[in-house]
Amino acid sequence: MKKKTLRILKKKKRMNIRGKTLHVKYAWIDGKIEKNVSISVDESGKIVEINKKVFDDNVHLSNHLLVPGFVNTHSHAFHRHLRGKSEIGKSAADTFWKWRDNMYGLVAEVTKEKIYQYCLSTFKEMINAGITTVGEFHYVHHSEQKFDLDQSVIQAAIDSGIRIVLLQTLYERAGFDNPAVHPVQERFISSYEDFIENLEILRKRQEHPRVQIGVAAHSARAVPFENIKRLFEFANGEKIPFHIHLEEQPKEILDCQKWIGQKQGPSDILLSQMQLNKYFTAVHATFTPANNMVQFSKLGANVSICPCTEGYLGDGIPRINENLKISFGTDCNNRICFLEEMRWACFSQQMLNNSRSVCGLSPEKLLQCATIAGARALSLTSTTGNLEIGKYFDAVSFSLDSPLFANSLADTLIDSLVLSAGNREISHVFVAGVDRKT
């Protein structure tokens, strides 16, 4: 009889760079590849020095490429638990709206414990994909008590190790001319006054350095324009990010036009009523007219696109322009690979325009969209987004031993990374100097 052998899996020891200096073969700094870089980090996880000095006590990543941690500007973490239920190719799921009904089935059973577990597993998966910061667009607020689910999402982020901007989301009605809500939507609903009161309580409660609070209006369908404006003005006054789902589907535009009796969509109205700026982020903007996208560019507003989700749900391809401040989100989290989001942002525009040169979407620009542009959309440019003295050491390292990097020279590494690599090549994911990859 053969003896049974038990394999004991050792828990990976996490690399901690706090109070140390990391030396790496290649690093992407100030938009270009630098060779043999040393980055010193203080005990709080902030970068205090960047140079090319090498000492015996340095921590070494000898054959690696280091880039800033990816910033995910749009997520609904709990949607990840709809995996396997796409029904793509079947009439039961031929529109976004039918998919939404499936999502409501998941929401109906959410408790504080369940949403914590949903978010924890999603945030851990994000970290393993190189995402160090997430903007969590959170609108499922209520369970046994009003707003009792919010802190569970924050706690999941803290326990996972990810940096979070909780985009606390206002949701007031079912549609432009329909205040009555679906029973499941009762978990989302609050008045503007109750929302702001709870928001202030939530903000005062947060002391963790990796937690920030922003705001969002769910959509023009779900929030009256006067309250979208009020909430945006509140965000401006507090200098915190404001996000909104905007024109993801043609139905939203048609319903808006029917409701006001004019040929104006939500983006037309927002541009006429609000002075958009760097605190404003439109999410998706899939069917936003090209001329309105140009106005967003001129005003310094951000647009968060989610290429994998927009393909998964059959939404469409947004009309972006070269000057638009674009960032990326994983949205429904059916597939969490930020390099794939970058690629499909590029590929979809190339297919749409029958061109391989669209909006300056080079690999380098795509990486900027995934890092510093994401930090801008979450009002975190003084905190994260690039490898710079004074910012937290949020970074991702890629092993160059992978055959995907074979024959890559220094000046082609970013091209190989963005257009060829995936999660498998990630070796370490640092958030404030601590490796959080599992």
Residue 95: band (very low, low, confident or very high) from pLDDT cuts 50, 70, 90: low
Dmax over CA atoms of the chain, in Å, equals 82
**Packed helices 266-273 and 250-260: angle between N→C axes, nearest 10 degrees:** 60
Pairing of β 70-75 and β 32-41: unpaired
Contacts 24+ apart (CB under 8 A), 292-299: 292/267, 292/268, 293/318, 293/319, 293/320, 293/321, 293/324, 294/321, 294/323, 295/271, 296/324, 296/325, 297/321, 297/323, 297/324, 297/325, 298/323, 299/275
> Half-sphere exposure of 182 toward its Cβ, with a 13 Å CA cutoff?
14
Tallying the residues shown for the chain, one arrives at 438
Q: What is the pLDDT of residue 7?
A: 43
Give the span between the Cα atoms of 167 and 75, in whole angstroms: 10
**21-68+385-435 — its CATH code?**
2.30.40.10
Structure token digits, residue 6:
């038990």
Residue 313 has pLDDT above 60, yes or no: yes
- The domain spans of the chain are 21-68+385-435, 70-377
Q: Which residues are within 8 A (CB) of 393 and not within 5 positions of it... i.e. 6 or more apart? A: 17, 22, 39, 41, 45, 46, 47, 387, 430, 432, 433
pLDDT digits (tens, 9 = 90+) for 13-26: 789 999 999 999 99
Six-digit token pair at 338?
């930020």
What pLDDT score was predicted for residue 4? 45
Q: Are the CB atoms for 379 and 214 separated by under 8 Å?
A: yes
pLDDT tens digits, one per residue of 35-78: 999 999 999 999 999 999 998 889 999 999 999 999 999 999 99
Rounded Cα distance between 23 and 242, Å, is 38
pLDDT in tens, 230-264: 999 999 999 999 999 999 999 999 999 999 999 99
User: E strands within 306-393?
Assistant: 325-328
Segment among 171-180, 195-204, 274-283, 372-381 with least mean pLDDT: 171-180
Cβ 239 vs Cβ 378: under 8 Å: no
**CATH number of the structural domain 70-377:** 3.20.20.140
Which pairing describes strands 242-246 and 211-219: parallel, antiparallel, or unpaired? Answer: parallel
Q: Per DSSP, what are the bridge partners of residue 37?
A: 24
Residue 22, phi then psi, degrees to nearest 5: -100, 130
Mean of pLDDT values over 94-123: 84
Core vs surface per residue 278-313: b (16+ CB within 10 A) or e: bbbbbbbbbbbeeebbebbbeeebbbbbbbbbbebb
Look at residues 221, 263, 229 and name the one whose alpha carbon lies nearest to residue 246: 221
Residue 5 pLDDT greater than 50, yes or no: no
